[in-house]
């Protein structure tokens, strides 16, 4: 019998600013999930200002009742957020009316349905102050890089490789790559994480789902600044899949992701324990937590706070050093994102104000001047 693991998340209002979630919101979510008859088990967690609902049940992915449950919880949390005047109350709820699925309505979703194995270790990754493409680099390392994952070399059930499903978030299309044969083709796309995101990974040996991520572009959906999409990702581990340590290893080398202050900067993704997950320096740097669970008949045994390990201290130190350096660049690229990738900009207003002060230069301008002089003669 199959079970479904659903992680649905949203920013319902920050405490203080965009740094964390107020305990009363977590209590509200906890109470609603406890009252639901739909679930086998659940956990409420947060990273920065984003609430994660981690749920197990038997209804498959995209189940309207489960999505509705999450949506209603976010609505109830919004009431509390309004009462406390938390920052951006209801920030990630882009619609007033629920229409069967929270996809495209603001909250992020990662879900997978599978037959629970003899032992079923899973990791729920959650990040704040960044976007779904932030998973491209670590998912690539976990499932395609033998220098990260020795299992690809020496585990007979991994040696065939994995299938990667990639979404184009601009054109709303999906495409699959079979690795290792199509590794170079895959990299052409996922090296551009603002547009192409790894949505899911499947084992070629068993055909089973191995990883799934939340993919959306909030600002494209809303048409205005609504913060970053602060993504989640589920990775199943061991026996034919990456070991837990292989799934965590990519984060030991903090990679650069888009997000941070006002969703408009590049910064290192810092792996942290759950009690270090409130980003405050320049609203960052971007953060990722890893919650490990053993599933037992759908029960969530855990979480184990996987990045709390002192072995990730060095990664945090490196991330802090990178953050320091990037901050010294202030409003200059590549710390600040290119104009077209920023979540908000004053460019149109500044442009309008200065419109009449822009004077043409270059060859065309010289030709025009010459023509005007001839005409005057
Ligand atoms: P969030 O997406 O986490 O709300 O961040 C928004 C922001 O502007 C941070 O400076
Ligand atoms: Mg926020
Ligand atoms: Mg956030
Ligand atoms: Mg956000
Ligand atoms: Mg052992």
Instruction: Tell me how far CA of residue 369 lies from CA of 40, 254, 358, 373, in angstroms.
Output: 77, 54, 16, 6
Question: In the predicted model, what is the mean pLDDT of residues 240-266?
Answer: 97
Nearest ligand to the CA of 12 is 2
Cα of 43 from ligand 2 centre, angstroms: 21
Please report the pLDDT score of residue 316 as a whole number. 98
Structure tokens at 41: 């088990």
Q: Is the peptide bond before 334 cis (omega within 30 degrees of 0)?
A: yes
Please report the pLDDT score of residue 348 as a whole number. 82
Catalytic residue among 62, 145, 225, 341: 225
**Residues 6-22: pLDDT tens digits?**
999 999 999 999 999 99
Question: In the predicted model, what is the mean pLDDT of residues 113-135?
Answer: 97
Question: In the predicted model, what is the mean pLDDT of residues 149-178?
Answer: 96
165 in the same domain as 25? no
Catalytic residue among 129, 141, 199, 228: 228
88 in the same domain as 31? yes
Question: In the predicted model, what is the mean pLDDT of residues 135-152?
Answer: 98
**Residues 185-215: pLDDT tens digits?**
999 999 999 999 999 999 999 999 999 999 8
Q: Whose CA is nearest to atom 4 of ligand 1?
A: 227
Residue where a domain terminates, one of 87, 113, 139: 113
Task: Cite the beta strand spans of 196-298 per DSSP E.
Answer: 196-203, 209-213, 232-236, 256-259, 265-268, 270-271, 287-296
91 in the same domain as 11? yes
Q: Are 214 and 124 in contact (CB under 8 A)?
A: no
**Residues 268-297: pLDDT tens digits?**
999 999 999 999 999 999 999 999 999 999
47 in the same domain as 137? no
Nearest ligand to the CA of 87 is 2
Please report the pLDDT score of residue 292 as a whole number. 98
The proportion of the chain whose per-residue pLDDT surpasses 90, expressed as a percent, equals: 83
Question: In the predicted model, what is the mean pLDDT of residues 105-120?
Answer: 95
202 in the same domain as 84? no
Residue where a domain terminates, one of 69, 88, 113: 113
Distance CA 355, CA 349 (A): 10
**Residues 27-75: pLDDT tens digits?**
999 999 999 999 999 999 999 999 999 999 999 999 999 999 999 999 9
134 in the same domain as 1? no
Question: In the predicted model, what is the mean pLDDT of residues 118-139?
Answer: 97
85 in the same domain as 175? no
- 128 has catalytic annotation: no
245 in the same domain as 324? yes
Residues lining ligand 1, CB < 6 A? 11, 18, 48-49, 128-129, 227-228, 230, 261-263, 283
Q: Are 136 and 143 in contact (CB under 8 A)?
A: no
Mutate to test the pocket of ligand 1, among 11, 46, 224 (most ligand atoms within 8 A of CB): 11
C-beta atoms surrounding 247 within 10 Å: 31
Kindly report the backbone phi and psi dihedral angles of residue 300, in degrees, each rounded to the nearest multiple of 5, phi listed first.
-90, 100
Distance CA 212, CA 135 (A): 10
Q: Whose CA is nearest to atom 7 of ligand 1?
A: 262
Mean pLDDT of the chain: 94
Q: Whose CA is nearest to atom 6 of ligand 1?
A: 227
Cα of 373 from ligand 4 centre, angstroms: 57
C-beta atoms surrounding 275 within 10 Å: 9
Structure tokens at 237: 């581990």
351 in the same domain as 209? no
67 in the same domain as 108? yes
Please report the pLDDT score of residue 225 as a whole number. 63
- 15 has catalytic annotation: no
SS (H, E, C) 172-202: CEEEEEECCCCHHHHHHHHCCCCCEEEEEEE
- 11 has catalytic annotation: yes
Please report the pLDDT score of residue 120 as a whole number. 98
Ligand 1 closest atom vs CA 129: 3
Q: Are 194 and 258 in contact (CB under 8 A)?
A: yes
Q: Lowest-pLDDT range, 36-50, 118-132, 231-245, 334-348?
A: 334-348
Question: In the predicted model, what is the mean pLDDT of residues 137-142?
Answer: 98
- Per-residue pLDDT band at 346 (split at 50, 70, 90): confident
Nearest ligand to the CA of 14 is 2
CATH of the domain at 93: 3.30.70
Ligand 1 closest atom vs CA 226: 2
Q: Lowest-pLDDT range, 162-166, 174-178, 224-228?
A: 224-228
Question: In the predicted model, what is the mean pLDDT of residues 218-228?
Answer: 65
Question: In the predicted model, what is the mean pLDDT of residues 105-111?
Answer: 92
How many structural domains comprise the chain? 3
- Per-residue pLDDT band at 218 (split at 50, 70, 90): low
202 in the same domain as 77? no
Catalytic residue among 11, 49, 230, 305: 11
* Terminal alpha carbon distance of the chain: 91
Please report the pLDDT score of residue 147 as a whole number. 98
Ligand 1 closest atom vs CA 18: 4
Range of the domain at 70: 1-113
Please report the pLDDT score of residue 226 as a whole number. 64
Residues less than 5 Å from ion ligand 4, measured at CB: 11, 227-228, 230
Residue where a domain terminates, one of 49, 84, 113: 113
Question: In the predicted model, what is the mean pLDDT of residues 299-312?
Answer: 98
Q: Whose CA is nearest to atom 5 of ligand 1?
A: 227
Cα of 91 from ligand 2 centre, angstroms: 7
Residues 6 or more apart in contact with residue 90 via CB below 8 angstroms:
12, 13, 74, 78, 81, 82
Please report the pLDDT score of residue 221 as a whole number. 66
Cα of 196 from ligand 4 centre, angstroms: 19
214 in the same domain as 81? no
Please report the pLDDT score of residue 317 as a whole number. 98
Nearest ligand to the CA of 264 is 1
């Amino acid at each position: 019998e199959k079970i479904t693991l659903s992680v649905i998340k949203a920013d319902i209002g920050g405490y203080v600013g965009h740094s964390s979630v107020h305990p009363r919101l977590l209590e509200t979510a906890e109470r609603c999930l406890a009252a639901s008859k739909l679930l086998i088990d659940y956990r409420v967690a947060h990273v920065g200002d984003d609430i994660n609902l981690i749920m197990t049940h038997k209804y498959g992915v995209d189940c309207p009742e489960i999505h509705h449950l999450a949506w209603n919880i976010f609505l109830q949390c919004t009431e509390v957020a309004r009462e406390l005047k938390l920052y951006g109350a209801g920030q990630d709820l882009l619609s007033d009316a629920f229409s069967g699925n929270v996809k495209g309505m603001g909250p992020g979703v990662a879900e997978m349905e599978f037959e629970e194995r003899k032992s079923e270790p899973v990791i729920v990754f959650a990040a704040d102050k960044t976007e779904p493409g932030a998973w491209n680099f670590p998912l690539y390392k976990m499932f395609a890089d033998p220098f990260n994952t020795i299992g690809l070399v020496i585990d007979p059930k991994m040696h065939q490789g994995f299938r990667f499903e990639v979404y184009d978030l601009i054109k709303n299309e999906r495409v699959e790559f079979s690795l290792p044969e199509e590794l170079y083709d895959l990299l052409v796309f996922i090296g551009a994480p603002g547009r192409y995101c790894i949505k899911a990974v499947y084992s070629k040996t068993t055909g089973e789902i191995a990883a799934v991520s939340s993919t959306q572009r909030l600002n494209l959906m809303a048409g205005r600044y609504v913060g970053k999409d602060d993504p989640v990702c589920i990775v199943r581990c061991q026996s034919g899949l990456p070991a837990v340590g292989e799934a965590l290893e990519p984060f030991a080398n903090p990679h650069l992701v888009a997000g941070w202050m006002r969703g408009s900067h590049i910064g290192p993704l810092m792996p942290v324990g759950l009690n270090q997950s409130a980003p405050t320096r320049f609203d960052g740097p971007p953060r990722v937590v890893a919650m490990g669970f053993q599933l037992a008949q759908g029960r969530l045994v855990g979480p184990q706070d996987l990045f709390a390990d002192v072995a990730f201290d060095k990664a945090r130190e490196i991330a802090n050093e990178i953050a320091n350096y990037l901050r010294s660049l202030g409003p200059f690229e590549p710390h600040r994102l290119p104009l077209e990738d920023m979540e908000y900009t004053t460019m149109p207003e500044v442009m309008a104000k200065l419109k009449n002060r822009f004077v043409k230069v270059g060859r065309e301008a010289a030709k025009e001047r010459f023509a005007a002089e001839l005409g005057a003669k």
